[in-house]
Amino acid sequence: MLRIYKIVIAVLCAAFFFTNCRPPERRGEVVPDFVSGVYVTNEGNFQFGNSSISYFDEQTGHVTHDVFLAANNFSLGDVCQSMRRIGAYYYIVVNGSGKVEVVDTADFKVVKTITGCQAPRYILPLSATKAYLSDLYDNEVHILNLATNEIVGNISIPTWTEALVYANNKVYVSAPHSKYVLIIDPIHDLITDTIEVGEGVGSMVVDKYNALWLLSNGDLGVHNPFLAKVDVTTDQIIFQETLAHPAGGLTSSEDKSTLYWLEDGVVKLPVDSAVSKRVTIIAKGSHNWYGLGIHPFTEEVYVSDVFDYLQDSEIFIYNKEGVQKSSFTTGVISGGFWFKINQ
């Protein structure tokens, strides 16, 4: 009897030890507005309707799953592509469901559902009342009225549109299935020019010198992937370099002095350095890296391992030198991060 008792105690202690190595997880709770942390958008599987949003509390280490479901009593939909805060609302772009859910930052409840888009991707605010929305299938950039949260117009583009970046009073639009990055005049909503750079540009950022960086995945192996830099005054390519591996997820530190992207691992490049000086700070190893985010204050690296695209993802947190700090579990195919910072 004493032996059995000791075994039970040992099992309970082991269970306690292992569960306390990981952040506690919660379901069915709404995140308080005053809490600082990280929202993780989980795409889910196409046509499964299992997209979701997880929340990681940086102070306590708690992970809250399905915060949208908890606040609204209905599921988010099919393929959560991206999320962005504009004013007092989060705009959650749900690609497979052809909608954008607008939720109040205070309680995450839906205040409006924007429809009229077939497969929306990313949203770019241009003013307090206007934004652009890219689309996978509609062959146009949608124009949103942020006062009414409605699509009020479209800019015709004969292909899929993806990343949207504002620089030098222009909007740059990536079109991964074409050779071009398109330039839109946001005052008149007209395409004014194009930059011929090559296929597969899926992500873009502007650095601290207001130069535009483009990252291509080579149209998923059809063409050579590359990194390019553009002068937004002349819209001329400053340089372009072929990469050894398909690449994606280009982002930057908050001060725009350092670039990060996924290329067979997590790559880091200070914008003042030559491209040849880029370093892989986090190796791929056995991971299936998919989403990448950089903390705006600490420059910690958040990167998702989506495993086989069917099971829940694991988010790994590293410092800016690439040393792992912790990890936590989210939903299926975690693709994006939105850092919720309260000071």
Residue 284's pLDDT is 97
| Residue 195, C-beta contacts closer than 8 angstroms, at least 6 positions apart | 172, 180, 181, 183, 230, 235, 237
Q: Mean pLDDT in runs of 10 for the chain (343 residues)?
A: 35 39 57 78 97 94 94 97 97 98 95 98 98 97 98 96 98 96 98 97 98 91 91 97 94 98 97 94 98 97 98 98 98 97 66
246 neighbors 220 (Cβ within 8 angstroms): yes
Q: What is the pLDDT of residue 97?
A: 98
Q: Residue 238 is which amino acid?
A: I
Domain boundaries, the chain: 27-156
Task: Note the pLDDT of residue 34.
Answer: 54
- The hierarchical CATH code for the domain 27-156 is 2.130.10.10
Q: What is the pLDDT of residue 341?
A: 81
Q: For residue 68, what pLDDT is reported? A: 97
Q: What is the 8-class DSSP label of residue 243?
A: -
DSSP code string of 80-130: EEEEEEETTEEEEEETTTTEEEEEETTT--EEEEE-S-SSEEEEEE-SSSE
Please tell me the pTM assigned to this model.
0.91
Specify burial of residue 133 (Cβ count, 10 A radius: 0-12, 13-18, 19+). buried
CA 145 from chain center: how many Å?
Answer: 23
pLDDT value, residue 33: 60
Q: Give the model's pLDDT for residue 14.
A: 39
Gap between the Cα atoms of 185 and 45, Å rounded: 36
